[in-house]
Chain A
């Protein structure tokens, strides 16, 4: 069925109103204003509002923001809580820990001058700045396809098509069917965050990753707690490694964070590397039990949990960066993979990548470019920037951790960062993609997780409830199985279908007994973290954008 679509033309369309996309949009307008010209910029965002799908720790390094808005303080940017102290612990067991003396803290983990923030609120502020500069932002609209003008080498990207609204579960049009419009642009910047569903297609279409190491991912799960005022120490930053994940081994890596934010809020979270090997591992349950560790518990006891969410992160860094540009567009931020995992920070790097891409696009457009080119000036600017320098210094962190584990790897990283200034004279590579890391269930030990106590730890569904997630019920399932038989026929016998456990939102279940077993997808629960798209050992789950406005409604995340 063909439909007539409305079309709007812009100079630049940005997909995703996160730190990268909004910084790019602001920068484009700034550059145009400097030149006394106009560049029309449109940002589309699948969340119901800007910030609804943003989830980050977050300790924020203001370097890129200082460049984008030197007067951010006067403009009221929500950077209200300077980091007041850093603590790093290695957890040896569920009750034992040793605190890393400050002397041995790697330079990348020092947070003086940084702020504990809500990235969602920073994005809301950035959106306001962007709109004041003349950017059009449309939340609640999901870009569903890139518009490709066919041609050699994958063709030229001409913008995006917004997803249709009003289609029922069976794929038929409902009475309120509304076709998505085409947003055409000279250049399209993709800023969907980690594992963007268009970014993934573009990387494949243009083979952008053919010279890069495999991308590596983690899943970050986060909660916001309100604690009694006497327990609240604004600006305190705590990081941990080890239990409940591996301290000396490499089969389950990751680390936790706990930050004291404003308004008696404490945020706590766990990042689990998606290179974990045991299919019985459940990142959600690891996080729940982590909170019972005395070092974490003492911050939360007596408080109430008010919010929950999860999001995958790209942690491959410089070695895994795909090519940034293709005809008519570019990848920026975590859609590209600019997070600095040694710092566990991706916001300032995302912002910077967006700004660099924007500068390249602005220069071209202001010089009369009609669009459609692969703008090599963007990667050139990247190579010349502090962003490249920073990612270069941290390039070995992930691979070293994967090879040596948290403790030894941590020591090596300390040596590299503090003694070699991030300049080990060699680069460590890690070529195995995360979806290939699972061992068969038969070779893995089952993990018995403790029952949640309802005070510190909780079950999945009551957690998802706190993410205020909603999707229109009657729409096609947005978690597509390339082969619907794989979960039960292959993944179940081989890996005890790990989707049941790696999904932090209870989307996937195997229900029924014996021959009646089937794979149930509770798509309404999905918090858009993309872990399934990454970790499914058969790479059989394809995450696509549901109807615009669906998904979590995070506040202060």
Chain B
């Protein structure tokens, strides 16, 4: 039976939502799942983790060095934990997990599986390559499976658990060559197109750069980034750096609202990893409707202001 260790990401005493999705992978692998919380004082985070379904035990490693976690400091501790009979060590596919997991894998002398998007068995997984254009099924070799989880592919587990919390200590030597200086939250102005969780994009149907204001209004109301189709960029309505699609930016937001965009294949290539696509277009035949989760046929100049008002 598999014995799975899930590494908890947390900040300011709160468990990161990515952990719950990582647990969904542990659930699919099947076995006994523990969550490791490495912190200066992990009590609050551990209590949260204990409530997640499928967690058998929460291990808390308290150490002042973990106050501002860096991979250099966390990795040796996780390696020590992992050596206690774990078959799998799973990390959320966040920048935290992506930075940390390879450091652990290399120390365990195993190849890592990045971005698990489907589970076929204890050592067989699907993962994306070539920017999601080719999905490979991989078989991990013997030894501990160290992996990151592609969050967009899994749903959070329920909060129905009541796991035991155990404080443990590890004896790893911690390096001092890496020092945290500061963390600046992203500025609160309109989010960056590439990393935004929500994106509203406008197409040529907007008709002018002046008219793009209806797109900005909706985007600002819901805290979204703003993009554009190549046709809108070529028409000079918006600058080049807003172009979404094959030759522009390839994005994977949770919500993508395509306004007045017909859905040329170049554009679709740039949004195929978006979680939910909404299409607003007056042409019911527009190809964008073929891929949209929600479509609304209508005049964008009426729909958008109404939507902005109602959200």
Contact = CB atoms under 8 A, between A and B. Distances in A.
Given A473-B247, A474-B240, A524-B247, A465 B234 contact: no
Given A522-B230, A522-B234, A461 B247 contact: no
B246 interface: yes
Contacts of B230: 522, 524
B235 A470 contact: no
Nearest to A465: B265
A521 B234 CA distance: 8
Nearest to B204: A511
A546 to B, nearest CB: 13
Given A470-B247, A473-B247, A520-B234, A465 B240 contact: no
A462 interface: yes
Interface in B210-254: 230-231, 233-235, 240, 243, 246-248
A464 B231 CA distance: 14
B231 A522 contact: yes
Interface in A440-481: 461-462, 464-465, 470-471, 473-474
A521 B233 CA distance: 12
B167 to A, nearest CB: 55
B269 interface: yes
B234 A461 contact: no
A511 B235 contact: yes
Chain A interface SS verdict (over half): mixed
Interface string A510-545: 010000000011111000000000000000000000
Contacts of B235: 511, 520
A461 B240 contact: no
Contacts of A464: 266
B17 interface: no
B168 interface: no
A462 B262 CA distance: 12
B172 interface: no
B231 A462 contact: no
Nearest to B207: A512
B240 A473 contact: yes
B250 to A, nearest CB: 13
Nearest to A451: B285
B264 interface: yes
A474 B247 CA distance: 12
A522 B269 CA distance: 18
Nearest to A474: B240
B246 A465 contact: yes
A511 B246 CA distance: 23
Nearest to A458: B265
A473 B243 contact: yes
Interface string B137-168: 00000000000000000000000000000000
A520 B240 CA distance: 16
A500 to B, nearest CB: 14
A357 B254 CA distance: 60
B247 to A, nearest CB: 5
A523 B236 CA distance: 13
Contacts of A470: 247
A473 B233 contact: yes
Nearest to A168: B240
Chain B CB within 10 Å — which of A470, A511, A522, A524 has the most?
A524
Nearest to B285: A451
A550 to B, nearest CB: 11
Given A511-B235, A520-B234, A522-B234, A461 B204 contact: no
A524 B264 contact: no
Contact of A462 (B243, B247, B264): B264
A465 B266 contact: yes
A465 B269 contact: yes
A461 B233 contact: no
Interface in A207-260: none
Q: Which of A465, A470, A521, A522 has the most CB of B within 10 A?
A: A465
Interface string B279-305: 000000000000000000000000000
B229 to A, nearest CB: 11
A464 B230 CA distance: 13
A464 B246 CA distance: 11
Q: Looking at A461, A464, A471, A474, which has the most chain B CB atoms within 10 Å of its CB? A: A461
A233 B231 CA distance: 41
Given A473-B233, A511-B235, A461 B266 contact: yes
B263 to A, nearest CB: 10
A461 B243 contact: no
Contacts of A471: 247
Contacts of A521: 234
B286 to A, nearest CB: 12
A524 B234 contact: yes
B300 to A, nearest CB: 16
Nearest to A463: B265
Interface in A471-521: 471, 473-474, 511, 520-521
Nearest to B246: A465
Contacts of B243: 473
A461 B287 CA distance: 12
Nearest to B262: A461
Contacts of B234: 520-524
Nearest to A468: B246
A299 B240 CA distance: 42
Contacts of B248: 473
Contacts of B247: 470-471, 473, 524
Nearest to B264: A461
B224 to A, nearest CB: 23
Contacts of B231: 522
19 contacts: A461-B264, A461-B265, A462-B264, A462-B265, A465-B246, A465-B266, A470-B247, A471-B247, A473-B233, A473-B240, A473-B247, A474-B240, A520-B234, A520-B235, A521-B234, A522-B231, A522-B234, A523-B234, A524-B230
Given A473-B233, A473-B240, A520-B235, 20 more contacts: A461-B264, A461-B265, A461-B266, A462-B264, A462-B265, A464-B266, A465-B246, A465-B264, A465-B265, A465-B269, A470-B247, A471-B247, A473-B243, A473-B248, A474-B240, A511-B235, A520-B234, A522-B231, A524-B234, A524-B247
Interface of A: 461-462, 464-465, 470-471, 473-474, 511, 520-524
